Amino acid sequence: MLKLSRQEIIFLLILCVTSFLISIPLFTQSIRLDEAQSIWISIKPTPALMKTVSEDVHVPLYELILHIWMQIFGTDILTVRIISFIFFGLSLPIIYVLFKESKDIKVASIGVMFFALSPFVLWYATEARMYSMLIFASSLSNLYFLRFLKSNSQEGKLGYFLSTLLGLYTHYFFLFLIFSQMIFLLTKLFLISFRGSNFKQTFRFIFSQPTFKIVSLSIFIGIVLFLPWIFYVFKSGLAANTQPLIPKPSTFNIFQTLMLFIFGFQTNIAQAVLVSLWPLTAVCLFLIFDKKHKNYLEHGEYFLISLILPIITTFLISFIHPIFLSRYLIFVSPMLFFLIALVLSDYIGNFAKIFIPMFMITVFLFATNQDISAANPVRENYSGVTRFLNIYASYSDIIAVTAPFTVYPIEYDYHGMARIDTIPSWNRFTNGPIPPFSKNKLVSQVDGYQQNYNHLFVIFSYDQGYENKIQTYLDDHYKLLYSKTFSYGLSVREYQLRYG
């Protein structure tokens, strides 16, 4: 499948080890919300696991693999994160071969280095979630899809079908990659046949092509085999239990996503500055698609379509139902690094010997800042919160978590004596969604606390639109004893409920 020389294998191994060393701070940091949810789901027996995933917003393959992994290696967060890095490491040779077969060794080397050292990619390569597995599946799909096209439907048929099935059971957003591939194929065939033909002849030509038939059949069979899961999700209530509040995106988020792929998570000010560099994107596109590059324009177009179309489609759908999250789009990041490598390999010339190392150093500095900076807006120091609660919350106190679904990372590390509740109160072990917030229910809930507990420790961790109302009510009616922020958006406030 992957033909690599000894030198290429050594290069990729060195790159993987380098990525691992850079990621050590990420391996050792606090458990995050999504990771705690994955562990909580995957530790269940298989039937309960499937039921819980169907009520979430994901598909079950990663959780099933994690379930088996934890049976063997345990549930320690460091151990659990390793499986994600394994998928990341397996992706490197696939992406390298994809780039090499699409252009040459020079572009492949530059592109895979950018990918392997991307702070954003490394963040999710060390997170106990399905995102590195999604990169693995999508990279396989891209490789076999292009092999299939270049071989006139002779190679890559089985690989494309299996990678399609793997991707569908890894993440719903894999559908956007399939959509992009079909749009590219239809556009390619349309442009070939439309010259001198009418629309009827053109469509007859497209539907008669073996390439179109086999790709369509592979996708159709893959979706048919995916339908049992869709029916199961409908039966379970369409993921009504734990859907987070996702705001509608703006055009800022589109360019922010591209910059996140390159520079990772930085402070809000730094991200705004990086996004302001978006005109460079237009310049890069001009450089890629000028006449000088007509000899490999076909591949450039595919990489551009499979990069931009999923982002734009997700953006437009989000005005109906918000789904736009940069991490869901991580599977398109290799396409961006291919296009960057394409520009650098042809336009920098001898200056590349200086520019590329300097760019790598810059990215490394951004990665370091992302990994250790307390100002990182996505850092979640739940371990710091639980250490604090283990010391200061006694059996006569109560802990309340808002939003309710953030109770998972708190419970993972908490070993104290105080009871843990959520605001609004939510029983995760019964069917049904998280109850909506109500001011009257809040008053009744806190009054109940006052009858039985001395102090209330409230964890504010994920704003669902009502956290300010909770804080305002508690500040107005109870004495605030202590407040501490542990990371961006994550804080604990201690209130005195009664005296004596």
Token pair 């739940």 in the structure block, residue: 382
- Both tokens of 117, joined, read 């050292």
CB 88 within 8 A of CB 330: no
- With cut-offs at 50, 70 and 90, classify the pLDDT of residue 27: very high
Give the burial class of 235: count Cβ atoms within 10 A of its Cβ; 0-12 exposed, 13-18 middle, 19 or more buried.
exposed
List the beta bridge partners of residue 419: 398
213-248: per-residue pLDDT in tens?
888 999 999 999 999 999 888 877 655 545 566 788
pLDDT beyond 50 at 294: no
pLDDT band of residue 18 (cuts 50, 70, 90) is very high
Q: How far apart are CA 69 and CA 130, in angstroms?
A: 14
- Which element (helix H / strand E) includes 440? helix 439-452
* Dist. CA 194–CA 206, nearest whole Å: 10
What is the average per-residue pLDDT within 449-476?
92
- Among 361, 303, 413, smallest CA distance to 75 is for 413
Gap between the Cα atoms of 323 and 309, Å rounded: 15
Please state, in angstroms and rounded to a whole number, the distance separating the CA atoms of residues 398 and 453.
Answer: 6
3-state DSSP call for residue 493?
Answer: strand
Identity of the highest mean pLDDT range in 206-215, 339-348, 426-435 = 206-215
pLDDT above 70 covers what percent of the chain? 89
Does residue 202 carry a pLDDT above 80? Answer: no
CA–CA distance, 89 with 368 (Å, rounded to integer): 20
Scanning the structure block, which residue is given the tokens 């890069």? Answer: 284
Exposed/middle/buried for 472, CB within 10 Å: 0-12, 13-18, 19+? exposed
* Mean pLDDT score, 412-429: 89
Question: 471, 460 in Cβ contact below 8 A?
Answer: yes
Residue 155 dihedral angles phi and psi, to the nearest 5°:
-120, 150
CA distances from 151 to 72, 154, 155, 218, 294 (A): 42, 5, 6, 17, 20
The sheet that has 490-496: what strands, in order across it?
419-422, 398-402, 455-460, 490-496, 479-487
Q: Where are the beta strands (DSSP E) in 312-434?
A: 398-402, 419-422
Looking at the chain, the whole-number percentage of residues with pLDDT higher than 90 is 54
Question: For residues 336 and 62, what is the distance between their CA atoms, to the nearest angstrom?
Answer: 25
Min mean pLDDT across 10-19, 76-85, 92-101, 463-472 is at 463-472
Rounded Cα distance between 132 and 187, Å, is 30
* pLDDT, tens digit (0-9, with 9 covering 90-100), for 56-80: 778 999 999 999 999 999 999 999 9
Task: Mark 344-379 as b/e (b = at least 16 C-beta within 10 Å).
Answer: bbbeeeeebeeebeebeeebeebbebbbeeeebeeb
The predicted pLDDT at position 263 comes to 87
Q: Model's pTM, two decimal places?
A: 0.90
Compute the C-alpha angle 145/318/301, nearest 5°: 30
Distances in Å between the Cα of 76 and the Cα atoms of 36, 47, 379, 417, 422 are 11, 23, 19, 22, 25
Q: Is the pLDDT of residue 179 over 90?
A: yes
> Cα–Cα distances in Å, from 313 out to 88, 94, 333?
26, 26, 16
Above 50 in pLDDT, residue 297? no
Alpha-carbon dihedral angle through residues 15, 303, 156, 166, given to the nearest 10 degrees: 70
Half-sphere exposure of 304 (CA within 13 A, CB side): 16
Task: Name the H helices within 33-74.
Answer: 33-42, 46-54, 61-73
Question: Which has the closest alpha carbon to 266: 373, 111, 419, 123?
Answer: 373
At residue 198, does pLDDT exceed 80?
A: no
DSSP class of residue 435 equals P
Q: Which helix (H) or strand (E) holds 495?
A: strand 490-496
Q: Are 305 and 188 in contact (CB under 8 A)?
A: no
Phi-psi region of 152 (alpha: psi -120 to 50; beta: other; left: phi over 0): left
Higher per-residue confidence, 206 vs 240: 206
Max mean pLDDT range (80-89, 237-246, 378-387): 80-89
